[in-house]
Amino acid sequence: MPVTAATRHLDDRYQVTIVGAGPAGLAAAVAAREQGAERILLVDRDAEPGGILRQCIHSGFGLQAFSEDVTGPEYAHRFVERVLERDVDVLTDAYVTDVSRDLRVKLMSPSTGVTSVETGGVVLSTGARERTRAQIRIPGERPAGVMTAGLAQKMVNLHGYLPGQRVVILGSGDIGLIMARRLILEGVEVLGVFELLPHPSGLGRNVVQCLDDFGIPLHLSTTVIDIHGHDRVERVTVAPVDEERRPLTDQAWDIPCDTVLLSVGLIPDGELARQLHLSLDQRTGGPVVTSTYETSLPGVFSAGNNLHINDLADWVSQEANVAGAAAADVALGRVRARQDVAVTPGTNVRYVVPHTLSTDLTQTVSFRVKEPIYGDTILRVGEAHRRKVRAVVPAEMVTIKLGPKVLESFAGETLRVDAIPAAAADDLAAAGDDEQ
């Protein structure tokens, strides 16, 4: 059973073209096929499909998709097999440079040259990029040895090199936590993880299993304020921050090190979205979408980290299932579901995806909270849905499934999504003042 395939001869026309063969693109390809699309093109910039899963060698994948805990490469493998069984054209070492508004996809690869294909539907599944030093504005010198955690992960896990010998990690995102453990296992000294916020950005499981297990200190409300070294990183200055996140420089200290890894967040990779002038959501950095993840340009869909940053590949695949199937529907000329209910972030909710819902469908509403609530929490979608959960934290996305029955009486309305402490919700209810 081959697990990679490089298509050398492209058709002039595909029903669905999928840009990016990571967890989103692979799932979208399978779903588009299941939905009846026959000619599907899946394009990836790397030499083999799988995207970031190829370097995420740790476990924690597949609990939703396969009811089984597997590693990133295994998760990718299962999807790649499904894709190849379904006779999808997979074009690797290829890059989509442009999509026109009439859905001509311009791409380049050494095997096809510069060419373009017509397509009935496009799924943008290009994933995310990591925030860089410039974006978090660390002043200081510009030595070698400052890199994103994801780049270090690629060098260590795919190519077998180490980013340095004494490493400081800025940011407690999951990639940074996982790389802390990875580097310790490879004999590299990890001097600490520094997080600007008062709570970790990554999952609690990763804090325990990647840091605590190995005695790596996690410094919350602390950040790197200066990087020193003319040629290579020699040390960093770190300082605690006050409640407004301003560094308390009188409490700063220096840490000798040769490497700084940045795990300070992901941003949806929006080159194509910008080129297509899609409506964007400033909160997610991704496109505004319907409940089938169709963007403001009909026929163009977005799923996975290209749409908003997910914490589980399984969620990505679930979104892409919907997007891939809907792209096939559009390509095959089927009628779209109505999008007759709007959703918007309310109390303690950073963002909500999708932006509209359909009273025709059962759909998933995904959102992220602003502040953690450790204790009984009420999640509300307007008057349509109310649920109590044990806790919510920004690191873990919350999803709620809403069907036609729940939504039918709210057509034409905008539903606010709130996440509030149960006690506060009860107080509000008692006061009969549930709305703001």
By beta-carbon proximity to other proteins, the closer residue of 214 and 253 is 214
User: Residue 208: what residue type?
Assistant: V
Confirm or reject binding of residue 47 to other proteins (CB under 8 A): yes
Q: Are 172 and 195 in contact (CB under 8 A)?
A: yes
Q: How far is the C-alpha of 3 from the C-alpha of 162, rounded, in Å? A: 28
Least Å distance, CB 359 to other proteins, is 31
CA angle, 20 then 24 then 25, to 5°: 40
Least Å distance, CB 64 to other proteins, is 14
Q: How far is CA 203 from the centre of its chain?
A: 14
Least Å distance, CB 68 to other proteins, is 12
Applying CB under 8 A, among 66, 82, 209, 340 the residue interacting with other proteins is 209
By beta-carbon proximity to other proteins, the closer residue of 370 and 405 is 370
By beta-carbon proximity to other proteins, the closer residue of 184 and 303 is 184
Secondary structure of residue 68 in the 3-state scheme: coil
* Span 186-205, contacts to other proteins by CB under 8 A: 186-187, 204-205
* Span 49-78, contacts to other proteins by CB under 8 A: 54, 57-60, 69-74, 76-77
Confirm or reject binding of residue 221 to other proteins (CB under 8 A): no
Applying CB under 8 A, among 170, 365, 395, 407 the residue interacting with other proteins is 395
* Span 21-40, contacts to other proteins by CB under 8 A: none
Applying CB under 8 A, among 142, 277, 370, 387 the residue interacting with other proteins is 142
* Span 361-380, contacts to other proteins by CB under 8 A: 372, 374-375
* Span 232-261, contacts to other proteins by CB under 8 A: 232
Q: How far is the C-alpha of 308 from the C-alpha of 354, rounded, in Å? A: 10
* Span 118-137, contacts to other proteins by CB under 8 A: 129-130, 132-135, 137
Confirm or reject binding of residue 275 to other proteins (CB under 8 A): no
Confirm or reject binding of residue 11 to other proteins (CB under 8 A): no
Confirm or reject binding of residue 390 to other proteins (CB under 8 A): yes
User: Residue 312: what residue type?
Assistant: L
- Cα→Cα distances 81→5, 65, 85, 89, Å: 11, 15, 6, 13
**Residue partners of 292: CB distance under 8 A and separation at least 6:** 301, 322, 323, 325, 326, 329, 336, 337, 354, 358, 361, 363
Q: How far is the C-alpha of 131 from the C-alpha of 129, rounded, in Å? A: 7
Structure-token pair, residue 210 = 């990647």
The DSSP element (H or E) to which 331 belongs, if any, is helix 313-331
By beta-carbon proximity to other proteins, the closer residue of 199 and 386 is 199
By beta-carbon proximity to other proteins, the closer residue of 258 and 319 is 258
Structure-token pair, residue 59 = 């476990």
By beta-carbon proximity to other proteins, the closer residue of 274 and 387 is 274
Sign of CA dihedral 14, 8, 75, 125: negative
- Cα→Cα distances 204→40, 211, 265, Å: 39, 10, 16
Applying CB under 8 A, among 212, 254, 371, 427 the residue interacting with other proteins is 212
Confirm or reject binding of residue 9 to other proteins (CB under 8 A): no
* Span 78-107, contacts to other proteins by CB under 8 A: 93, 95, 97, 106
Least Å distance, CB 431 to other proteins, is 28
